[in-house]
Structure 1
Amino acid sequence: MPMSGPKKTKKRWFMLFLLFILTAINYLDRTNMAVAASSMSQDLGFNAATMGLLFSAFSWSYGLMQIPGGWFIERFGSRIAYTASLFFWSLFTMFMGIGRSFAALFGIRLAIGAAEAPAFPTNSRVVATWFPSHERATATSIYTAGEFIGLAFLTPVLFWILENYGWREIFYVTGFVGIVASFFWYFLYRDPGAKSGANEAELAYIRKGGGLGSQASEKQKITWSQVTELFKHRQLLGIYLGQFANTSTMFFFLTWFPTYLVMSKNLPLLKAGIYAVIPYIGALIGVLLGGYWSDSMLRHGSSLSKARKLPIICGLLCSMTIMSANYFDSLNAIITVMAIAFFGQGMAAIVWSTVGDVAPSHSVGLAGGVFNFIGNLAGIITPIVIGFIVQATGSFVGAMIFVGCVAALGVFSFIFIVGDIHRIEG
């Protein structure tokens, strides 16, 4: 009988576990202000429009720093980029606890957004380097699940801290956790290669399946022609627009949703924290189902385009149902609608894997930065628009219509603009 080769290691799954933990921390640091918002606004005298501007501050700098963040990743690699990003955004998060004016808090949120800019492009780069194509959507869905597991199970903890200690302590606790995690990432993460702990069988498996593998260790020189190239292709432009649409739903839940429950439904803080868990669990189920469904279609012979686009389109259609919350008075019915909408947002989150599928192999980190820049313009627009709608009308009815219509724009983009999904080589 012929000798079989050594069994491949599973180091890629350990690296994915690290991404999962860091993504959970990332989203706690994005949503902690949503939990603190009702108490913060009362303590500091902020109205809804002012809070909308404060919510948006993160995304102004986060979006603007995406392309520089992508350059930083390509220049210094995933290990250094994530370490620096996590350490500084966590440090600035702790500073939020000492802010006492709109100007100070706005400036600190700008700093948090700038520091977080390399995080998700690094996630995309790590998955593209460590995973073959047929595992990439599953890997993306697993680290993305970290967003919602952290939100679902730790949001009530944040409300408990708020109830028993105050809104400032929320920022002290979440910031400290991130600083500790930054050291674990630095000492544990490695790109694929001889020092990564992966054997040659696993490295060959990654390369054969289209993973970038050891190419990730090569420092890239970024030129303006590479940047402009990322705006010339129909597939990428459609993907950018789809991410903008999906991110709009997400930012409603990350910013205004807890306040919606407290202000619009008159829920006490701890009860709002408990009800807020249900849509987060819906999003968790959606993101896991989306990744599994996409890769399962690939394994059963579907085209890459069908396997990626179908779950994304179905997810965005589910997100559009958020508009129906305007027609229910029952809290249970409204929470069910919200769970369906956030389930859809989670399912469509595999749009991140399409960046690794489509971007030129020499610009995956940079493309992730551009993609996240366009997508997170929604983080600027959505909180401000909702804040002014609530301030002007005294209700969230117009806000639900706005979020649903933007989700419909994403459906249009993936049906009519994106076209065939394949890697752009140039």
Structure 2
Amino acid sequence: MSTSSSWQPKSAWTVTALLTILATINFLDKIVLGMVAVPLMADMHLSPAQFGFVAGSFFWLFSTSTVLVGFLSNRVQTRWILLAMAVSWSVLQIPQAFTTSTLALLLCRVILGAAEGPSFPTSVHALFKWFPDHKRSVPVAVINQGAVVGMVLAGLLIPAITQRWGWRINFFVLAAVGVVWCALWLLFGREGTLDTVRRTSADSTAPVTAGGPRLPYRKILTDASILSVFLLGFVAYWLLGQTITWLPTYLEKGLGFDGITAGRLFALVIAFAAPVNIGLSALSQRMLRLGATTREARARLTSIVMIAGALLFFALAAIDLTPMQKVFCYAIAAALSTFCLTLGPAMIAEMVPLAQRGSVIAINTAVASLGAAVGPAVVGRLIQANSATGAHAYEIGIGVTAVLLLLAALAALRWLHPERSLRTLGEAAAPVTA
């Protein structure tokens, strides 16, 4: 790959493909515990509340490590940060395969979560070095589909592996896959050189370089638009944590599907997100090309889509539907409700100084991941408290998630104004010490 500062489509999409594979591995690591929940809980004698607590522990240090590495990514090449993370993931799979106690499993998940936390924001920061602002929605959506592919593969392969060789073998497989990715990244991974971003403000059209002005983080982190993006991410990750932890069990114990069928239906639910997210991302880019503001093409689109997802979750929890109807309802609602994870980083990159982009995107992911840390535990307690009601116990948790999604989307409709925040933060920008 060359070092030209102009946009290089071939190199940009090569890096995108590698980062998409990394996201696939990342989500296989996340989802594996939920996919082996039934045999693991039986083997280790865990209650739903205990299992939800262990599953949520993956995100305990997720936020801390994400912020720390985010600041590091402002100064260190993302190529080496991503390689170091992938190596650590592979190594950390092994002790999970051998663990025999709840405490040991808890510690393994906490450490792995710390190692995997910075993956998405670091990948997005690396990607933005290859794509100009008006071309970022689709590649970020493609990276997000790595997560979809990971969860689809999990639904198809992990139950089969578990049935044939036992649930522990899955961790050895994940370790091997991580090693292969590291080799590919060493061969083909490069650092982007496109160090400009497109500013949409009418009075700020000039390129901004990495050495440009910086802002006090207090100013950035109290901006209404930035906080709105954080809130959208928090509720989306709450839903994500609920999905990867409890959806497989809901399908099996709540709706009555057998283990293999539940795995396939889980894959179907997750796979549905791919065309929805890529299609909506393409729509957003088209709106921008046709002259729409980023408030219209990104903020309002994201909010309206999340409201639609929340309403579908309400319908699932409140209306008497057949098991398959509930599965399809969940699939559509989850795809719509997590779309903000694609456009959120693009909106942040538009609003903040380039020199602080990596750290602010990381802070966004850190705040968002708190939702995934809390959500599984809360839903686990709701399931345990209402265990006698069968599927309804899980649907109470789904209803709580729907309320959070609706509130966050309404807040974004009111306060998320990327162009206005760009002007405000741009006027305040001055050389300061980070």
Shared fold (TM-score, shorter chain, > 0.5)? yes
Q: Name the SS of the counterpart of 1:278 in structure 2.
A: helix
Question: Which residue of 1 is the match for residue 241 of structure 2?
Answer: 251
* Equivalent pair of 1:94/1:176 in contact (CA under 8 Å): no
Structure 2 CA distance for aligned equivalents of residues 214 and 73 of structure 1? 18
Question: Which residue of 1 is the match for residue 368 of structure 2?
Answer: 375
Note if 1:358 corresponds to 2:364. no
Question: Which residue of 2 is the match for residue 416 of structure 1?
Answer: 414
Q: Name the SS of the counterpart of 2:265 in structure 1.
A: helix
Alignment of 1:203-214 (within 5 A): 207=196, 209=198
Q: List structure 1 segments (4+ residues) > 3 angstroms apart after TM superposition.
A: 6-9, 206-216, 225-230, 420-425
**Identity over the aligned pairs, expressed in percent?**
21
* Equivalent pair of 2:71/2:359 in contact (CA under 8 Å): yes
Q: Render the CA deviation track for 1:131-173: whole Å, top value 9, x for unaligned.
A: 1111111111111111112222442111110111111111111
Structure 2 CA distance for aligned equivalents of residues 185 and 213 of structure 1? 30
* Equivalent pair of 1:286/1:345 in contact (CA under 8 Å): no
CA apart distance, 1:406: 1.1
Alignment of 1:324-335 (within 5 A): 324-326=315-317, 327-335=319-327
Q: Which deviates further from its counterpart, 126-135 or 108-117?
A: 126-135
Q: Name the SS of the counterpart of 1:376 in structure 2.
A: helix
Note if 1:234 corresponds to 2:224. yes
* Equivalent pair of 2:133/2:346 in contact (CA under 8 Å): no
Q: Which deviates further from its counterpart, 312-321 or 167-176?
A: 312-321
Q: What is the count of residue pairs matched by the alignment? A: 406
Structure 2 CA distance for aligned equivalents of residues 361 and 209 of structure 1? 11
What is the Cα-based RMSD across aligned positions, in Å?
A: 2.5
* Equivalent pair of 1:155/1:277 in contact (CA under 8 Å): yes
Q: Render the CA deviation track for 1:390-416: whole Å, top value 9, x for unaligned.
A: 011112132011110111122122111
* Equivalent pair of 2:197/2:208 in contact (CA under 8 Å): no
Structure 1 CA distance for aligned equivalents of residues 83 and 326 of structure 2? 40
* Equivalent pair of 2:351/2:418 in contact (CA under 8 Å): no
Note if 1:272 corresponds to 2:262. yes
Give unmatched runs, 5+ long, in structure 1: 1-5, 194-202
Question: Which residue of 2 is the match for residue 292 of structure 1?
Answer: 282
Q: Name the SS of the counterpart of 1:10 in structure 2.
A: helix
Structure 2 CA distance for aligned equivalents of residues 144 and 385 of structure 1? 26
Question: Which residue of 1 is the match for residue 58 of structure 2?
Answer: 58
* Equivalent pair of 2:23/2:144 in contact (CA under 8 Å): yes
Question: Which residue of 2 is the match for residue 403 of structure 1?
Answer: 401
| Amino acid in structure 2 at the alignment position of 1:373 | A
- The 3 A distance-change label for structure 1 pair 389 and 133 is same
- The 3 A distance-change label for structure 1 pair 144 and 208 is closer
Q: Name the SS of the counterpart of 1:396 in structure 2.
A: helix
Give unmatched runs, 5+ long, in structure 2: 1-5, 200-204, 388-392, 430-434
CA apart distance, 1:9: 5.1
* Equivalent pair of 2:300/2:413 in contact (CA under 8 Å): no
Q: Render the CA deviation track for 1:368-397: whole Å, top value 9, x for unaligned.
A: 111011101101110010000001111213
Q: Which deviates further from its counterpart, 49-58 or 150-159?
A: 150-159
Q: Name the SS of the counterpart of 1:130 in structure 2.
A: coil
| Amino acid in structure 2 at the alignment position of 1:331 | P
Structure 2 CA distance for aligned equivalents of residues 208 and 112 of structure 1? 33
Structure 2 CA distance for aligned equivalents of residues 295 and 245 of structure 1? 24
Q: Name the SS of the counterpart of 1:33 in structure 2.
A: helix
Q: Render the CA deviation track for 1:43-75: whole Å, top value 9, x for unaligned.
A: 000000001101111111112222112122223
CA apart distance, 1:268: 1.4
Q: Which deviates further from its counterpart, 342-351 or 30-39?
A: 342-351
Structure 2 CA distance for aligned equivalents of residues 22 and 352 of structure 1? 18
* Equivalent pair of 2:7/2:130 in contact (CA under 8 Å): no
CA apart distance, 1:237: 1.0
* Equivalent pair of 2:133/2:197 in contact (CA under 8 Å): no
* Equivalent pair of 2:118/2:362 in contact (CA under 8 Å): yes
Structure 1 CA distance for aligned equivalents of residues 415 and 91 of structure 2? 41
Say which of 313, 316, 319 aligns to 1:322.
Answer: 313
Structure 2 CA distance for aligned equivalents of residues 365 and 29 of structure 1? 24
Q: Name the SS of the counterpart of 2:77 in structure 1.
A: helix
Q: Name the SS of the counterpart of 1:238 in structure 2.
A: helix
* Equivalent pair of 2:67/2:363 in contact (CA under 8 Å): yes
| Amino acid in structure 2 at the alignment position of 1:248 | W
Question: Which residue of 2 is the match for residue 130 of structure 1?
Answer: 130
